Amino acid sequence: MEVNDEVFQTADDLELVLQDVSELMTPLKEYRAIHAPLFGRSEHHERSELYVKGLLSLEVERESVEPMVLQLKGAIKNAVRAVQQFLGEGSW
């Protein structure tokens, strides 16, 4: 097996404020619109949008699916499982 000696560096931590995130929303929506046809079904498009919103949300304490969905959609039956399934089994 070949060993890769390349060193990876991570970016410095960013101290983002709400306005920084808000300014990213329009370019992010434009970027997602380009790829929207690749999601196929409208449900997949909606779940991808929810997931991205959750990752960028300052209101969600953890970046895992369950608290994201519960915070952004509420306790809708099967909503958490649907997003988990989309992320785990979807063809991205």
Range of the domain at 23: 18-89
In a domain, 63, yes or no: yes
**Predicted TM-score (pTM) of this structure:** 0.65
Distance (Å, rounded) from C-alpha 47 to C-alpha 30?
A: 17
Q: Give the rounded percent of residues in the chain with a pLDDT score beyond 70.
A: 89
Which residue is listed with tokens 């097996």?
Answer: 1
Number of domains in the chain: 1
Rg (the chain; Cα; Å)? 16
In a domain, 71, yes or no: yes
| DSSP letter, residue 38 | G
Nearest C-alpha neighbor of 57 from the set 80, 24, 90, 34: 24
Stretch 64-88: mean pLDDT, rounded? 87
Which of 12-16, 58-62, 76-80 comes out lowest in average pLDDT? 58-62
Distance (Å, rounded) from C-alpha 1 to C-alpha 77?
A: 47
